[in-house]
Structure 1
């Protein structure tokens, strides 16, 4: 027998659930370790059952009418009375305090649901632990989804700090190559193997066996063809557990034909999807939009898909990469890959356009989070557009994300635009003109004004040929920004005012906001009074349109002006207000600007160590975005003066120590440090605050979950549908930051203890 690796968290949760419920079903995809976990749980729980534990393997049973006979045989019942097997079974179990383990129920769901219900009614001291790729769906059932093993190490140190997946690989590999060990040299490759195999124990064990003939690096290289590679399992295992393909073939066979088709089409998504996106890819001649929800729900029930929480509100779904690769292989074999990927590309093209159109609005935060959730899908859609020679769509997707790139990743955004522009040299299309001026703006922010000028020259020529006044105004606007960054303040002002007149005539509030921002910045950098009230106009526009992300920049600009006038308290107040938006919308650029200015304020107050740390966190933010403040000559000049004073005040050693402490902070930690406010609420604080975030109905559902009721029981109690209950539970998990019903129950118990106290 091989050793049991990891699963401490899952064992603890399963143990608690088994103490509270009489029917616990462990669900999950094939090879995830449901049987191994059930055996371990049964072994550890044996003393709690006076009549012991009985394990019944159902994988080989094909005739559901023989289910009772199979269980009776496992219990050693050999009745010759001629009575129905179920009658004998219930009589035998009636007074037994026993744990009955039913393994691999997924192909006998109806029979298992009926039988377990009858056995539990007849035997009050009986508890049943089932494993299945799909929940039994019977009354009183508690379901625990078994996740893959953790495959990201929690610490860079070897030994106890390595993930459960890596430990499993190491143990199984050492069983076939006795001198094998995870070392500093091979650790990253082993991590990558476990990550690419999704932490699925069966896949990891099959891979480890290949260490007989391959090195770790060779094994990693061959995982692109994982189904051909991972084919040699234990001869003692069930046939479907001897190869990775066989394990997934079994899951595929349990699906209905429409579910199989949905599985293959949904495999074109990268990094998850929501129901709207699924509808665009799955629906077609043979599948209606209205059927998509049921198909997705069926695949979730069968552990092919899993629900996923993203940054944006709403439920998302994802498949393990191994299951996704299986679906892609099936899709390719059926000759339908191009059609599915075309539907995927078209949807994300439309999504990017909607994001651009709705960006300057109260939806700004939602779109920021949604684009972050779907960045992998947008990459896939962009790449497919170029592969298919659809350069205009590639240009549109890349440029539609312009605001997102400017907030988070200028380097990647510029890379996309470079590729798309190179594929369409000289074409006169609206998509190319927009991509050119957006790309010029991004290049400027990255400090590359030379590339910006080249792109603007082409954009101006194309806009003139097309007679596109709106595009020409954008070209003037960005040319003004280039001039501003090059220190040509007078020329910048003239260009920006020219752009502003056209934008105001078109009532383009988003463009006007950007232009007045740069006009205010030009005045501030020249040290002039803002006689036109540009900064106030910018802030007022942001407030009028509810644009939180844009408002954070307007606040920064107003704070910069206050700092330049010596209004330190006012500047700090405005900077803090801007930074608080970072708790809900991550923007490395705005954060870096605010942290830099706070550093100047701290230095002026004699808080030298804090100033050095703030300059370091600002520098780290610039680095994460793929640029530096050197593109902002005016800001860089103040930075250099402040740094020189800090080095003198602290000395080189203390300055470097402070700088390193600041540079090592995560974005969230850096925001907390800059604000000098309590860190983001911990899980305990979130639990305490939960009662104020949940709606009255969600609070009611949470309390019933705490009472141990299933979704069906809660639905009956509240006279709502089980699907509605499921949605409420999902919202509760999202709001409280929990991952299971058990943790909701613990939170409810804590709330009750607090109120009793």
Structure 2
């Protein structure tokens, strides 16, 4: 049996090793199998565990032929590599030798009754944020293994700020597979990480150079992948080759109803894996190096073009069938599907374009319009619209729709003048068609662009007839969204009463049809109309809008709602200034990610608010909060906003009676109360002030008693009223 030093072999495998050794130490264990994909280190793990557990056995063997005469007083351990196809042999040995324990390794379970499994996955991968911190990066198991092996192959190699991003990218490309990491690390004697990363590109299976003493499958990733696919039946092999052409994270669109048995076989062998956290909607990926190996096989066999066409046609059908559901009650679900399938949809569009199928590409791009807006894919979407329009050859109706979509995307980016130009171009094409619904919808979008461009009168002239026409033809969703924009125009013209009336009708329609993205924008506008006379209701409307943005995965409406909510918090609870900064920073980061900019009048208001908070907070607390906010993703930003205190009647009473109350607090209690109002926990407050957590708990109790508050939220409101 080969022996490996634990420090050399067991990077990132401490938990699996301990679990395996505990199973082997139990005299009741007859068969334990280490399972996992090829190259994950199963044999090495089994060898080390067997060596460490050898004291519990009278004899340790690696060849079943050496077991004659075994079964005496002591236990015998048989280490059996690649045992998944030897079920009958293992079962016979266990039945014949009572004191025998089998430690097996395999791509899948052996399948013998009483078998215990120890699954082994690839090593954990670095997160994007880790690449900026070499010290944090070095603690990630995949990076640690790579660096150790690279230093052995190239003395003096070290993880530095200069190569950290390339090392992280290599580990991610190789999906944390230990054999792949070791082969790549061996190339450090020839190439720096960045050069190797570029050479591997999309074909990491070209890595080779394993030790001559290793099995043939461990000398190159190509050989490893082919060995992994051995003994697959025809149906499973055909399915695996087809799925290798999909970008990781594909869903049911890639599968046919007849694929069930083959799908289970691939999952069982680790040739297909589940990805993501949404167990209700399974998503899959073919792991490296199998994926790149099979794509190479397709190219060599001349099947790559047909596979790419099949992939593109499937996603074109998905987009066409899902588009009508993107503004109904299933909107959030289908937006999530489009978001998860975004890499495959991009690949499908590329293929449709390259094979010259402009009509199918245009239809797919139009179906992606709402998802592009929700995902913040504004500039890529605009690029596709322009590419298809400039190529020409499209029928007038899809050409008009593409021009209109390009205007909507330009408006979302913040280029109102360009949006007006694009919508007028769309109108020039669609008016002669006699399509009243399309013409009215484009006119409504033109009105929205005119409002953004600072022409509310022109916007009113476009929107009023457009809303009536859309309503007349039964286009409920477009009519409701156009009515929301009309209400914004009326508000800009100072006609708040009529704006509220129009918006009330739009809100009802949007709720009825389940258009949550349209509803989120309408709620934001409703909050703006309400805040002057009912700030509590305005806050409630903004909270609902934030929740809808989270449910739909929106990144275009969300920055505006975060800004509005931050300004609302600043007005009603001034003590929440650090939270206000975090929310404004999160909105700013979201805009940068989508390549958009806020309307000028809105940006001016936000800028004044930021300057005021900076002057009150001071530079250091402000910049700290700003950095914290920029690190928030969309979901975390909404969570941060919704965690702010909510006004209730009891809270309002507490705030009113506490107008003078802070004067009864000690200076230290005032400090603690202000930090409570910022949403900090007792532990965070203790760390900030250099106190014990128990001392902070006592301070909070005294503060609540002196202010007459029964909750931390009431303390926040009381301090806000005092501030």
Band the TM-score falls in, shorter-chain normalisation: 0.7 to 0.9
**Matched position secondary structure for 1:333:** helix
Change (3 A) 1:399 1:15: farther
- Alignment-derived partner of residue 101 in structure 1: 79
Contact 2:385 2:402 in 1 (8 A): no
- For each residue in 1:152-202, what CA deviation from the matched residue of structure 2 results, as whole angstroms up to 9, or x when unmatched? 157443346422222222222222222222222122222222222222221
Deviation at 1:581, TM superposition (A): 3.3
| Whole-angstrom distance in 1 between the partners of 2:307 and 2:431 | 39
Deviation per CA, 1:530-581: give whole Å up to 9, x if none. 4262222222122212333433333222222211x33111111221222233
Distance 1:361 1:609 in 2: 38
Is 1:46 equivalent to 2:48 in the alignment?
no
- The corresponding residue for 1:31 is 39
After TM superposition, give the deviation of residue 39 of structure 1 in Å. 2.0
Q: Residue 624 of structure 1 corresponds to which residue in structure 2? A: 593
CA distance in 1, matches of 2:503, 2:23: 58
Please list every run of 5 or more consecutive structure 2 residues that lacks an aligned counterpart in the other structure. Answer: 646-723
**Separation of aligned partners in 1, 2:233 and 2:448:** 58
Is 1:554 equivalent to 2:522 in the alignment? yes
Provide the TM-score with structure 2 as the length reference. 0.81
Change in CA separation of 1:475 and 1:269 when aligned onto 2, cut-off 3 Å: same
SS at the partner of 1:396?
helix
| Aligned residue number for residue 460 of structure 1 | 427
Aligned counterpart in structure 1 of residue 89 of structure 2, from 98, 105, 115: 115
CA distance in structure 2 between the partners assigned to 1:535 and 1:98 by the alignment: 79
Output the CA distance in 2 between the equivalents of 1:307 and 1:393: 30
Contact 1:407 1:588 in 2 (8 A): yes
- Please give the alpha-carbon distance, in whole angstroms, between the structure 2 residues aligned to 1:268 and 1:310: 23
TM-score normalised by length of structure 1: 0.78
Whole-angstrom CA distance in 2 between matches of 1:183 and 1:531: 63
Q: Which residue of 2 aligns with 1:7?
A: 13
Secondary structure of the structure 1 residue equivalent to 2:230: helix
1:559–1:571: 8 Å Cα contact kept in structure 2? yes
Q: Which is worse superposed, 425-434 or 258-267?
A: 425-434
What's the CA shift for 1:316?
Answer: 2.1
- Shift of residue 651, structure 1, vs aligned partner: 4.4
* SS in structure 2 at match of 1:235: coil
**Larger relative contact order (C-alpha < 8 A, sep ≥ 6)?**
1
Conservation of the 8 A alpha-carbon contact between 1:576 and 1:675: yes
Whole-Å Cα distance in 2 between the matches of residues 579 and 160 of structure 1? 33
Q: Hey, what does 1:512 align to over in structure 2?
A: 479
Give the CA deviation at 1:654: 4.4
1:299-310 alignment runs, 5 A limit: 299-309=266-276
**Aligned residue among 145, 148, 157 for 2:133:** 157
Partners of 1:592 and 1:646 lie apart in 2 by 19
1:358-373 to structure 2, matched below 5 A, reads: 358-373=325-340
Q: After superposition, where does 1:291-690 map in structure 2 within 5 Å?
A: 292-309=259-276, 311=278, 313-418=280-385, 420-425=387-392, 427-531=394-498, 533-563=501-531, 565-605=532-572, 606-607=574-575, 608-629=577-598, 632-676=599-643
- Check conservation: 1:312, 1:370, Cα contact below 8 A: no
TM-superposed deviation, 1:467 = 3.0
User: Residues of 1 paired with 2:135 and 2:582: CA distance?
Assistant: 33
The Cα shift of 1:362 comes to 1.9
Structure 1: stretches of 5+ with no match in the other structure: 57-69, 78-87, 280-288, 679-757
Aligned with 1:589: secondary structure? Answer: coil
Shift of 1:476: 0.2
1:343 Cα shift?
A: 1.7
1:186 aligned onto 2:194: no
State the SS of the aligned residue for 1:360: coil
CA contact (8 A) 1:489 1:526 kept: yes
Q: In structure 1, what is the Cα distance between the partners aligned to 2:17 and 2:507?
A: 54
Deviation track 1:268-308 (CA, whole Å, cap 9, x = no partner) reads: 111232344222xxxxxxxxx42x11122222222211123
**SS of match in other structure, 1:491:** helix
Contact 1:392 1:432 in 2 (8 A): no
CA distance in 2, matches of 1:483, 1:521: 12
Distance in 2 (CA, whole Å) between partners of 1:362 and 1:94 is 69
**Equivalent residues of 2:483, 2:502 under 8 A apart:** yes
Whole-angstrom distance in 2 between the partners of 1:558 and 1:225? 49
Distance change in 2, residues 1:53/1:474 (3 Å):
farther
Q: CA RMSD in A?
A: 2.7
CA distance in 2: counterparts of 1:583 and 1:456, whole angstroms? 30
Per the TM alignment, residue 394 of structure 1 is displaced from its structure 2 partner at its CA by 2.1
Tell me how many residue pairs correspond in the alignment. Answer: 631
Following superposition, the deviation at residue 228 of structure 1 comes to 7.5
Say whether the 8 Å CA contact 1:410–1:446 is kept in structure 2: no
Q: Could you tell me how far 1:443 is from its partner in structure 2?
A: 0.5
CA distance in 1, matches of 2:116, 2:519: 47
